Structure 1
Amino acid sequence: MATITKLREHPRKPGRFELELDAATTLTISLELIADLKLKVGRVLDEAEQRRLESSAQGIACYDKALATLGARARSEADLRRYLRTKEFTDEQITPAIERLTALGLLDDVAYARTFARARLAPSRGFGPRRVAAELARKGVARDIAERVLGEMALELEEQADDAAARGETLRSAVEVAAAKKLRSLQGLEPAVQQRRLYGFLARRGFSGAEIGTALRMLKHRD
């Protein structure tokens, strides 16, 4: 048995309430839970009600932590799930939080992958599709989602290049930009050494052999 000794709005979390049991244990709960259990100061809870209250409070804490984490930076579903486990939440608490965030559109692996890939594939960043695919896999994004998004990004970059060409401009690709930057640090080396190191660098950046070969030929032609 436990008695509710305090019930007030949370001072830092709008829509949340602080509930105190026996002037000792403080839980953060929702208005819905207050209405559902008819909670008020002085009400005595039996053991079953107390367990339900504590379980619901843990679920709310998990959801609030997930929401705050997504507010700080976007995450994939798997990455968010891993993070919440490090905070000692259980799968029984994590899954409903993930489902609610997904239903609200706040957790979306496709949207996350698009944003991540678009930033990493920008010419100024100098990363290739293979590197981005590997990074998305490490973040828990499903392979089919990564492949779909990278396909979309390839078309998007092609359209940008076509638009630039129509304006009489030349839009350098990410592999060209990365190659040109790296080449500056390789000046003074034998040509064969330059090419070997440049090729290895670009391969580690996630570009295919065909992309690297095209970029090297274009750089040589411009020189």
Structure 2
Amino acid sequence: MDAAYLKCLQDRRPRVLQKEGKMSRDVVLEFLEACNVKMDLPEVQEKLRRKITETGALPETVANEVHDEVMELLGFEVAYGHSCFAEFGASQEFASDKEVAKAYARWRGHSSEIMFKMLYDYWQSGGELHVDAVVKHQMMKHGAKAQLNNMSNEERRSLLETSIDKVNVFSKLPPEGRQRYLERLEDQELLEFTKGEILVATLVQSRQQLLHRTE
């Protein structure tokens, strides 16, 4: 189905790429969906893995190539298309359009999920990372979630008790303070801290939901 969808876009591709005019809402939605589909293709994911192996970093250049290819599939010259996309994203129309905002969030989340998971798998296999503490922190969330799923309730409760104060202090730090804190942690310490963060966030969310039910 994904291949058929992309072939349909290829068949519809205009011979002359657009270099003027606005990008319509429908094209924005099509761009977001087509990017998601291409990121799931085996050949694209293989490129992502190769780039991670080469660089030890997020394969953002490969993701950007996907965006460029989709922009041309939809009939826009690459640089102009991206400027139109950015302009739409900054518009009041985008701010008030829940469907587009949801699709945009799904697009951002889908790409990030794929790349951070691959980066985590590379690190787990013994690969050397060349990323800053903030990127590594985001990457660890994928491993942290998987490990939490395999922990017993008692293990999660114990980790929550030992983590809650540290996480609360961390959450009150300014951005530069958070980065300095993350930079001081060894990889395994960062993984444990991230698991604690997730548990605390889950606890806070549960309490908020309970509060809303009782109001």
On whether the aligned pair clears a TM of 0.5, the verdict is: no
Q: Write 1 or 2 for the structure with the bigger share of helix.
A: 2
Greater RCO (Cα-Cα under 8 Å, separation 6 or more):
2
Q: TM-score scaled by structure 2?
A: 0.31
Q: Write 1 or 2 for the structure with the bigger share of strand.
A: 1
Structure number with larger C-alpha Rg: 1
Q: TM-score scaled by structure 1?
A: 0.30
